[in-house]
Structure 1
Amino acid sequence: MSSVIASTRFSILDRSRIREGFGGPQALRDTVRLAQEVEGLGYHRIWVAEHHGVPGVAGSAPTVLAAAIAAATHTIRVGTGGVMLPNHQPLVVAEQFGVLESLFPGRIDMGLGRSVGFTNGVRRALGRDRDDADDFAGQLAELLGWFEGTSPTRVHARPAEGLRVPPYVLATGEGAAIAA
């Protein structure tokens, strides 16, 4: 049984929770420190999430936080769990992950979700509507196309084009069918 545990790769998800008496900046620094600690324990990956306007959660920019974590660690994989694709233009997401993969080759995982915010106020602030998640499959195809260089626009996503960043679709319900 111990060989099973020894060969199991463990990952952790951190939302950068704000502890009582501390603010968001400290929560983000704590996430980076946690990544360093779990790397030392042999964890395989740390995921960071995108949450907007959630009380007690500082994790709102997962690609930025992933960059900070990757810069402060050496071997652990760093993933977004995830970038909510309906909140972002696929070209921008491809470029962000292209930069991350270029700076930290072989250590970046692109976790993508289809949520558009948990309240009407957050959706308004993001300039999104509930219906924006309806075309998640199309947004995902466009995003992956930027890495493959298949955009019909003649625009090239640099430095993403040609890079291989493992995509992970984080979803339930309808999104689970897309992930499959």
Structure 2
Amino acid sequence: MVMVFPMASFPLLSPVSFLVPVESGEKITLSITVVLSYLVFIGSINDAMPKLSDTVSLIVIYASVQTLISMLTVVANGIIIYIHKLPPDFQVTVPMFKASKRLNSSGKRNYDPQNGRSCKGNSPKLELRSINGKTRALQLEEECIKEMSENDWLQSGKWILLARRLDKICFVCFAFLVILVSVIFGFLFIW
């Protein structure tokens, strides 16, 4: 029971770290604690094994594989925390065939060449024709402000939502991986 119980419980702790919200500040702490627990457990297994042996025990291989999976969860949690902390106005450069174009947070270009206007304030040509009592420039400016405020409201939490989705995806993937490795080694132990 001293060897079997930790071997059965430790693999279940790795995917649980993806259920901890980033805002709590304990996400990466749980992941690192699980890795350190595995390393301490491998040290106790090493003390219990014979010093001179020609083969490596299955339990040592299993613990090593589970340690590797736990280290991958630490890396995945670090990436998720990084994505969660990105500012809402973070811009991504998407390479095109001939030139790269900078995208704003909504995925649209900052300058619209068809209308000859830009919502960032650097419009090359604005017409001052009167349309229903408003000048065209004022109307375009109001449209840009409205579009920007709607996009900012929609995009303000996009990185947080992406991080939460990645948490769910990683939880399912790592839980499946841990269970698969445990089942495979369980059959090898019995066989």
Category of TM-score, reference length = shorter chain? under 0.3
Higher Rg: 2
Please state which structure has a larger fraction of its residues in strand.
1
TM-score by length of 2: 0.22
Please state which structure has a larger fraction of its residues in helix.
2
TM-score by length of 1: 0.22
By relative contact order (CA 8 Å, sep 6+), the higher-ranking structure is: 2
